[in-house]
Amino acid sequence: MKKLIIINGPNLNLLGRREPEIYGSQTFANYLEVLRKKFPQVELEYYQSNIEGELIDKIQEVGFSYDGIILNAAAYTHTSIGIGDAIKAISSAVVEVHISNTFSREEFRHQSYISPNAKGVILGFGLLSYDLAIESFL
Ligand code: DQA
């Protein structure tokens, strides 16, 4: 059984309530159930933190044993050399995910410290971006 983890960064705990016109009106807890039902062949873990160092700790903790990490580092995508370095340091493959199309938004969202070290990037498909990322590991 493939062991994957979704790691969500800052403010993604507010999905469903946060700017629903951009991020939709579903909570991630609800969507996680949808994903687990859709991919019964995957052992799917979930972690969310608003704190940069906690995200790095989690990446280090799982990054040598899991088959893959699906990472939406949210705003830290655009700022965090530390998370970028963590991805470089581990052996598990990382797929970068974004709910929105960051390239159709503000200029500061066009920069990613994750992409250069990611296996691939999926963005702009709403929550379906997570499904596509899981599929990329199957
Ligand atoms: C996001 C895009 C980021 O620019 C933003 O800071 C987020 C969410 C997305 O999933 O679309 O918090 O990563």
122 lines ligand 1 (CB under 6 A): no
The CATH number covering residue 17 comes to 3.40.50.9100
Contacts of 134 (CB under 8 A, 6+ apart): 4, 35, 39, 42, 44, 70
Distance CA 117, CA 113 (A): 8
Counted domains in the chain: 1
- Active-site option among 31, 66, 76, 98: 98
Domain that holds residue 94: 2-136
Tell me the per-residue pLDDT of 45-101, one tens digit each, with 9 for 90 and over: 999 999 999 999 999 999 999 999 999 999 999 999 999 999 999 999 999 999 999
pTM of the model: 0.97
